[in-house]
A = this chain, B = another copy of it.
Amino acid sequence: MLEELKEKVFKANLDLVKHNLVIFTWGNVSGIDREKGLVVIKPSGVSYDEMKASDMVVVDLATGKVVEGDLNPSSDTPTHLVLYRAFPEIGGIVHTHSTYATAWAQAGKDIPNIGTTHADYFHDAIPCTKDMTENQMGEYEKETGNVIVERFKGINYVHTPGVLVKNHGPLSWGTDPDNAVYNAVVMEEVAKMAFVSFMVNPDTTMNPLLVEKHFSRKHGPNAYYGQKK
């Protein structure tokens, strides 16, 4: 069942290790089959060394029930499901505790868009969610999804494919699991660069016109970066 998607999700999880975004079991990637309404996700607490493609767990998008798999799905599965329901154009989701993005999340600050490395992939500041209320902590992982969706009111989730969950860490998404991993790598890199920039110059800013210019080099009808396909 969904062997091809399982293989992609499995490989994308290993890529988190390759890109130094996770240690131990501190991350997870999922992918979705929109037609079938099924999500494939990493099992909970299984080490990357021992994981096999066949360990990936299949979960029903609508009900959150496990449809196939012997292992528990990632404890963050409810967060992924909320995002897949609210953001219909995304095909993959990544969560990590990568060092610099997590540090910004802990600090409770958006990562401002101050460079073209950021603007090439994220149109806006990478937003940080608000504090959860006590009530929301009952179903923590589901409510994590909800505070993200709320934070994106007025923000285009396709153009800014990532978020910082306050005091927790980053999530990113994309057209498929690979693209979501790519955006996780970018987020960690821009988080590190922005840290250094603000240390060097606390008043760092970027001309919004330059943001538009760079973002549109790679996105939209007038994109001209890369090879024609």
Query: What is A's interface to B at a CB cutoff of 8 Å?
Result: 19, 23-26, 43-46, 71-72, 75, 97, 99-100, 102-109, 114-117, 131-132, 134, 137, 140, 167-169, 182, 185, 189, 192-201, 204, 206-207, 209-210, 213-214, 217, 224-228
For A46, A100, A182, the residue with the greatest tally of chain B CB atoms inside 10 Å of its CB is A100
- Which B residues lie within 8 Å of A116 (CB)? 167-169
Query: Which residues of chain B are within 8 angstroms of A228 by Cβ–Cβ distance?
Result: 72
Given contacts A193-B99, A228-B72, contact A26 B117 (CB under 8 A): yes
Task: State in angstroms the CA–CA spacing of A196 and B199 once bound together.
Answer: 10
Inter-subunit contact B225/A75 (CB<8 Å): yes
B109 touches A201 (CB 8 A): yes
Given contacts A116-B168, A167-B210, A227-B46, contact A104 B198 (CB under 8 A): no
Known: A189-B23, A195-B200, A200-B195. A225 touches B44 (CB 8 A): yes
Can you list 30 A-B pairs with a CB-CB distance of less than 8 A? A19-B23, A23-B185, A24-B182, A25-B226, A43-B227, A44-B225, A44-B226, A45-B226, A72-B227, A75-B224, A99-B193, A102-B117, A103-B192, A103-B194, A103-B196, A103-B200, A104-B200, A106-B194, A106-B197, A106-B204, A107-B198, A107-B201, A116-B167, A116-B168, A117-B169, A131-B207, A134-B209, A140-B213, A167-B207, A195-B200
B195 touching A199, Cβ below 8 Å: yes
Q: How far is the CB of A229 from chain B (nearest CB, A)?
A: 10
Complex Cα gap A111–B206 (Å)? 18
Q: Is there an interface contact between A206 and B167, defined as CB atoms closer than 8 Å?
A: yes
